[in-house]
Structure 1
């Protein structure tokens, strides 16, 4: 007599839920990154995918316990559901750690925010208010996010900053070289993170008694928490600029001599929308 061994329904459902959670997480990320859905819709979709992934894990664990005692088939299905659920929860674990590590802030600047205006401000009527931190907290959490002063001509420093922006692939939306629209140079650039969050960077190069000074602002668009991205972005950029200036002055002792301004250059302004 042939004995039939059943396949656990719990294991089948664990696999189904795990397989469903993957596209429900990946698809909104892709659509959000490409700008086809807005941030609130993306957040809702991501939470649904996370809840489904958690459900897949719970069902898979229950299926594994039942399989241990019943002897039914379905170990592979249950383990697959468990694996897919855990993979889908990895991004939530990562951002959960960042939320614990960094305060809920969405706007970081090395100087007064009003001195570094953002291009997307006219579109902020429906956006949450920016989350700010005190100067003391900023200095403690992001010690490298500070104004830099170098013995360089403003045009030289602006050129170096512009090159670093290009290396990072930031989308420049507004550009004034020093002397084109006043003594200060300015760059506004848009950044899209891997998850699709939009952020804007403002860089200002101004004359200084030591040569030139550079300030920077990084702000999130339509977000309630940046998970440390803005402060880390400014810190990384400034440290990279420190290295570039140090190398330049070491290899070219006369690099801090004033450079002639390009008086014929015109300001380049791109559409800030989108």
Structure 2
């Protein structure tokens, strides 16, 4: 007579680890889609993303609990637990990157190549409307000091071009980076200063960031100052400094081609 040998029960922690992880990943994706499509306010999409992060963290805790139970009681479910841990880690990868950046970089949301006299954002009706009424505040001494300590490489860009040529190079470089012009004033007048305002978007969430570029004539050269500011949050996780660096590198590459 054949006897049925009952299978070992499955760990409930492993089952729920996978369920929660499977739930968290699409919720995080929905948060990104909502933010990039401007379907809801940024705060709402961040709240959805925050919920996905919490669920993913719970899934990871359940993974460790499942490992303990499986080891001690010999229950099944290791595959489900590992699958859930992988999906949870995938959901948490970008937030974890931001957490690391938040620890290692200064708390700044506004970065400029000129901390003593940063370029001012245009107050024209078109520019204010494009920024949805938002205008970054001015630099204070503490902010300037934190930037100098954290980003000593963010400095004015000086090119061996006349202001008009430099102005065209800035426009071409900004266009290649996908920046949208919202206001512009070519170099001229008594001061010879030129100014441009741009709008760029965050790579992942698509949040709007504002950029101001100022051009000042020098003897046979042009000094270009760039200011990049985030609209949301106190910490930009290094995004604005990175944007200025990349712009300067592309500007130099364009200059070398001339």
Question: Is the TM-score greater than 0.5?
Answer: yes
Where does residue 118 of structure 2 map in the other structure? Answer: 113
Give the aligned CA root-mean-square deviation in angstroms: 2.6
Matched length: 246
Cα distance in structure 2, aligned partners of 1:135 and 1:170: 25
Where does residue 242 of structure 2 map in the other structure? Answer: 232
Where does residue 175 of structure 2 map in the other structure? Answer: 166
TM-fit CA distance, 1:105:
0.8
TM-fit CA distance, 1:148:
2.3
Cα distance in structure 2, aligned partners of 1:12 and 1:157: 61
Structure 2 segments unaligned to the other structure (5+ residues): none
Where does residue 157 of structure 2 map in the other structure? Answer: 148
Helix, strand or coil: the match of 2:161?
A: coil
TM-fit CA distance, 1:9:
1.9
**Contact 1:142/1:232 (8 A) holds in 2:** no
Tell whether 2:199 aligns with 1:190. Answer: yes
Higher mean C-alpha deviation, range 173-182 or range 59-68: 173-182
Cα distance in structure 1, aligned partners of 2:157 and 2:213: 12
Helix, strand or coil: the match of 1:123?
A: coil
Where does residue 99 of structure 2 map in the other structure? Answer: 96
Tell whether 2:182 aligns with 1:176. Answer: no
Tell whether 2:16 aligns with 1:9. Answer: no
Helix, strand or coil: the match of 1:206?
A: strand
TM-fit CA distance, 1:246:
4.3
1:244 to 241, 244, 254: 254
**Contact 2:22/2:84 (8 A) holds in 1:** yes
Structure 1 segments unaligned to the other structure (5+ residues): 249-274
Higher mean C-alpha deviation, range 129-138 or range 32-41: 129-138
**Contact 1:104/1:131 (8 A) holds in 2:** no
TM-fit CA distance, 1:78:
1.2
Cα distance in structure 2, aligned partners of 1:92 and 1:122: 27
**CA distances 1:177-227 after superposition (whole Å, capped 9, x unpaired):** 323998333221111112222101111223223332211110111322111
Higher mean C-alpha deviation, range 152-161 or range 231-240: 231-240
